[in-house]
């Protein structure tokens, strides 16, 4: 083959960019799978290190616990009430006239009978004087008629005059007597009218804002009046309860007076303490509620007419019942339960029956016996039979009870429910 021309060296075809990217992706996937396998099936020491880092069971679970207690627990019914004055009077004039004097200050306390205002009494006094003069005139006529009657009766007894004249004079005396009585009634009416010119407080209470100024003409037909007087001490609160509580309230009310607390709306502090006075005689069919009324002394004037206030009605007291913090109560598929801390610092699940519960404490009907301790905080890693480290609120371990005092369910120095658990030691 001497005559053949030698071929040039073949040049490799370049790799396409898309194929190169696929190779890169495959390589990254293989590296990820290898890393995951190494993580899962790594050495035991590495697995223990990971469990310790992410909360594995490397030691006791830090928790807060509180002891179950025996206590008297009040049973309350809560409602929102409206404060209302027991007595409130709009002072109106009873006669027409010019208001010549205002004798009170707005917002001051007044007593029954205190002078509030005066109306010009000139015309009323003149009417009284006229009635007095008319009576004096008729009284003089009556006296003269009585004297004539006495003379006529003497003459008639001796037949000096006709008996008819004596009878006529007796009738005239009776007529004048009735006239004098009518005059006295007119005097009484004029005196009453004159007294109405001085306006007095009808009740004890506090005056409001004046509705009319001095110098105005006021009339008995005015609807606004001069001022409103409101009795603030004592004061009443009206509130409604659902009809399903009616039998409980009536049963408790039949045994004696029921205590009612008025609470602030922002922090539930007791504003005043009173007693239930009235349970309405019918249920409102449109709302299914019954209206109740409670009276409060309001000595410090913390309640004001028209004010909304929270009401707490005490209907019963549960005597010496088992109480635990509400934060300890857990709910699962099988019902309600708690974690009880045993003497060996292990937590065990204990089913319970709840009798009554509120935001802070729960009354247990069965399942826990004082002074057994129940876990209140630290449920994230807690399991049945797990070792626990009971801490106080500042993160220090709770001291163990002396050996001679250790009993089943001995109380530890647990922190209140809601405190943060201590970090693992």
What is the SS3 assignment for 273-310?
EEEEEEEEEEEECCCCEEEEEEEECCCCCCCCCCCEEE
Collect all residues with Cβ–Cβ distance below 8 Å to 42 and sequence separation of at least 6.
Answer: none
Q: How far apart are CA 375 and CA 324, in angstroms?
A: 10
Q: Pick the residue with more confidence: 199 or 26? A: 199
Residue 41: which pLDDT band, with cuts at 50, 70 and 90?
low
Report pLDDT for 108: 95
Report pLDDT for 20: 64
Mean pLDDT of 17-42: 68
pLDDT digits (tens, 9 = 90+) for 309-354: 999 999 999 999 999 999 999 998 889 999 999 989 999 999 999 9
For 195-236, the DSSP string reads: HHTEEE-SSSEEE---SS-TT-EE-TT-SS-SEEEE--SSEE
Residues forming a β-bridge with 332: 335
Report pLDDT for 136: 95
Report pLDDT for 412: 36
Mean pLDDT of 291-298: 96
CB-CB contact of 100 with 119 (8 Å): yes
pLDDT digits (tens, 9 = 90+) for 137-179: 999 999 998 888 888 787 877 776 777 787 888 889 999 999 9
Pick from 25-39, 129-143, 289-303, 307-321: least confident:
25-39
Could you say which DSSP state residue 94 is in?
Answer: S
Pick from 191-205, 292-306, 375-389: least confident:
375-389
Collect all residues with Cβ–Cβ distance below 8 Å to 349 and sequence separation of at least 6.
Answer: 337, 338, 339, 340, 384
Report pLDDT for 397: 56
Mean pLDDT of 20-27: 71
Residue 398: which pLDDT band, with cuts at 50, 70 and 90?
low
Alpha carbon separation from 237 to 99, 109, 156, 241 (Å, rounded): 36, 21, 78, 13
For 358-416, the DSSP string reads: -SSEEEEEES--TT-EEEEE--SS--TT-BEEEB-TTSPBPPPPPGGG--TTPPP-PPP
Nearest to 318 by CA among 290, 351, 357: 357
Name the average pLDDT for the chain: 83
Percent of the chain with pLDDT over 70: 81
Report pLDDT for 40: 53
Pick from 216-220, 258-262, 415-419: least confident:
415-419
Mean pLDDT of 200-224: 94
Q: How far apart are CA 181 and CA 66, in angstroms?
A: 88
Report pLDDT for 302: 93
Residue 206: which pLDDT band, with cuts at 50, 70 and 90?
very high
Q: How many residues does the chain have?
A: 425
Does 380 score more than 70 pLDDT?
yes
Report pLDDT for 340: 94
Residue 80: which pLDDT band, with cuts at 50, 70 and 90?
very high
Report pLDDT for 26: 72
Report pLDDT for 58: 61
Name the pTM for this structure.
Answer: 0.65
């Amino acid at each position: 083959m001497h005559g053949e021309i030698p071929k040039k060296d073949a040049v490799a075809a370049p790799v396409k960019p898309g194929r190169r990217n696929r190779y890169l992706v495959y390589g990254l996937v293989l590296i990820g799978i290898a890393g995951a396998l190494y993580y899962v099936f790594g050495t035991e020491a590495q697995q223990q290190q990971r469990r310790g880092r992410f909360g594995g069971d490397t030691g006791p679970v830090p928790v807060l616990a509180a002891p179950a207690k025996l206590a008297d627990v009040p049973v309350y019914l809560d409602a929102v009430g409206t404060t209302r004055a027991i007595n409130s009077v709009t002072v109106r004039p009873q006669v027409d006239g010019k208001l010549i004097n205002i004798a009170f200050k707005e917002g001051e306390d007044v007593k029954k009978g205190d002078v509030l205002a005066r109306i010009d009494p000139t015309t009323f006094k003149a009417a009284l004087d006229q009635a007095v003069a008319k009576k004096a005139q008729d009284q003089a006529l009556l006296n003269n008629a009585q004297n004539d009657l006495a003379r006529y009766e003497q003459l008639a007894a001796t037949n000096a005059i006709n008996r008819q004249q004596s009878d006529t004079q007796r009738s005239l005396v009776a007529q004048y007597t009735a006239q004098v009585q009518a005059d006295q009634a007119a005097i009484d009416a004029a005196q009453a009218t004159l007294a109405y010119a001085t306006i007095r407080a009808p009740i004890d209470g506090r005056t409001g804002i004046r509705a009319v100024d001095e110098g105005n003409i006021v009339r008995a037909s005015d609807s606004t009046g001069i001022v409103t007087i409101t009795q603030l001490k004592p004061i009443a609160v009206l509130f409604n309860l659902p009809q399903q509580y009616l039998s409980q309230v009536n049963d408790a009310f039949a045994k004696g007076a029921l205590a009612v607390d008025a609470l602030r709306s922002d922090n539930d502090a007791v504003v005043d303490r009173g007693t239930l006075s009235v349970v309405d005689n019918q249920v409102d069919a449109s709302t299914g509620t019954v209206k109740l009324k409670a009276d409060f002394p309001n000595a410090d004037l913390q309640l004001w007419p028209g004010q909304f206030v929270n009401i707490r009605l005490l209907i019963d007291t549960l005597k010496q019942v088992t109480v635990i913090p509400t934060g300890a109560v857990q709910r699962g598929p099988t019902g309600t339960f708690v974690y009880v801390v045993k003497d060996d610092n292990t937590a065990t699940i204990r089913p319970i029956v709840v009798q009554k519960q509120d935001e802070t404490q729960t009354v247990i009907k069965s399942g826990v016996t004082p002074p057994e301790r129940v876990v209140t905080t630290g449920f994230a890693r807690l399991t049945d039979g797990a070792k626990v480290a009971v801490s106080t609120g500042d993160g220090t371990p709770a001291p163990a009870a002396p050996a001679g005092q250790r009993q089943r369910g001995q109380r530890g120095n647990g922190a209140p429910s809601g405190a943060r658990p201590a970090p693992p030691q």
